[in-house]
């Protein structure tokens, strides 16, 4: 269980909410972690349970079925989900996708989608990455050509989180291929639209319970009313939402690192070697001491960044630095924690193996560590 002593970003209401999250996860998530990994997807029953308990999209206003809370409640869910060792895509929905609809959506779009997203009845995804385009969003090739009162969308996307489950996808497409970044728009696509199809659930190194998919659009006709915000403003919308997305990743990375450390402490204190526990060796204690120091710094930084974000002051460079530092720190801690398990750490029956596998992608998605350095350098 995460130790909340010394945390500065939360108040007693967040703590009460955390108790709700933990109870729900104990009942609806943790007993099914292995099944989710085996199935390669988290079933809709978990989404519905989260919706019923108020865990999905807590920032959504009451008029759209939400609780109207601050992002700190999202952070609580992210921490507990990561500490549990789940790759369920609920944070993508609550921390990333919902913001686009709330901020840029029309009133009709908000009324149509937000209540169902809050309830877990509508699972969402955002389709940015393409087979030949990763961090360089200006180079997307998916097109949305205007034809009367419809857009005709053609193209493909890959590595899309929630791709198999998604009922609604925000598609990043070129409405004017001649204008570069200024020709990019965001379009809402319902999964039952003719011309939309899903590829395979991709076989990944880790995060096996996250359904990550290819998506295809072939002469798919979508009403122009499905345009999110203004035509040609999509790239700007994507950039404006990056701080929250990267902060969310940093928070999850920190909680995962804490769990990996806790697993290492428990294992080394229980494992005997040469007549004493592995923990009793000075090298073990020194390694764990170094990891604990990194975690102490990490939690202080998470709370600092979260407080800045709650008052609207967290910059893109600061959020990028948080994402860079916490994901790189996570990789160091899971690797050292696995090493302290010895051969047992390489066995999938031990939780540390899952945390080690799942950690690797955090330095890639949401912008690679190299892109984070580029963004930070521009602020110097």
Catalytic positions are 245
Q: Roughly what angle, to the nearest 10 degrees, separates helices 12-28 and 71-84?
A: 40
Cα separation, 345 vs 291, whole angstroms: 17
Cα separation, 202 vs 208, whole angstroms: 9
Neighbours of 67 (CB within 10 A): 17
For residue 146, the cross-strand partners are 151
The label of the residue with tokens 């990375």 reads: 253
Reported for 288-291, long-range contacts at CB under 8 A and 24+ positions apart, including other chains, are 288/261, 288/264, 288/340, 291/261, 291/264, 291/332, 291/333, 291/336, 291/337
Spatial neighbors of 240 by CB under 8 A, at least 6 apart, are none
CA torsion sign for 279, 282, 287, 293 is positive
Pairing between strand 212-223 and 196-201? Answer: antiparallel
Cα separation, 352 vs 126, whole angstroms: 30
Least Cα distance to 92 among 78, 112, 110, 113 occurs for: 78
Tokens describing residue 220: 């798919």
CA torsion sign for 279, 280, 284, 286 is positive
The label of the residue with tokens 């990019």 reads: 184
Burial of 63 (0-12, 13-18, 19+ CB in 10 A): exposed
Cα separation, 84 vs 1, whole angstroms: 9
Structural contact between residues 29 and 88, judged by C-beta atoms closer than 8 angstroms: yes
Cα separation, 6 vs 351, whole angstroms: 26
């Amino acid at each position: 269980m995460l130790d909340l002593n010394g945390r500065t970003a939360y108040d007693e209401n967040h703590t009460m909410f955390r108790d709700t999250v933990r109870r729900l996860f104990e009942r609806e998530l943790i007993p099914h972690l292995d099944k989710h990994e085996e199935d390669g997807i988290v079933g809709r029953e978990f989404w519905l349970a989260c919706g019923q308990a108020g865990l999905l999209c807590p920032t959504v206003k009451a008029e759209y079925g939400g609780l109207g809370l601050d992002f700190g409640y999202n952070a609580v869910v992210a921490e507990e989900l990561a500490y549990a060792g789940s790759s369920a895509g609920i944070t993508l929905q609550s921390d990333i996708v919902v913001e686009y609809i709330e901020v840029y959506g029309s009133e009709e779009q908000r009324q149509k989608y937000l209540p169902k997203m809050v309830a877990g009845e509508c699972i969402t995804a955002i389709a940015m990455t393409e087979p030949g385009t990763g961090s360089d969003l200006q180079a997307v090739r998916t097109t949305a050509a205007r034809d009367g009162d419809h857009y005709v969308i053609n193209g493909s996307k890959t590595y899309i989180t929630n791709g198999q489950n998604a009922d609604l996808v925000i598609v990043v497409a070129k409405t004017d291929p001649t204008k570069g970044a200024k020709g990019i728009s965001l379009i809402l696509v319902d999964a039952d639209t003719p011309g939309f199809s899903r590829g395979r659930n991709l076989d990944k190194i880790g995060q096996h319970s996250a359904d990550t998919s290819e998506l295809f659009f072939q002469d798919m006709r979508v009403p122009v009313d499905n345009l999110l915000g203004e035509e040609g403003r999509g790239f700007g919308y994507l950039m404006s939402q990056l701080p929250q997305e990267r902060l969310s990743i940093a928070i999850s990375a920190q909680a995962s690192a804490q769990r990996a450390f806790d697993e290492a402490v428990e294992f080394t204190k229980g494992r005997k070697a040469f007549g004493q526990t592995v923990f009793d060796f000075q090298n073990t204690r020194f390694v764990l001491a170094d990891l604990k120091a990194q975690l102490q710094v990490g939690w202080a930084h998470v709370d600092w960044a979260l407080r800045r974000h709650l008052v609207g002051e967290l910059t893109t460079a600061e959020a990028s630095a948080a994402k860079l530092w916490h994901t790189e720190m996570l990789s160091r801690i899971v690797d050292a924690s696995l090493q302290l398990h010895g051969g047992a750490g390489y066995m999938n029956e031990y939780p540390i193996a899952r945390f080690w596998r799942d950690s690797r992608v955090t330095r890639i998605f949401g912008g690679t560590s190299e892109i984070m350095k580029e963004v930070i350098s521009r602020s110097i």
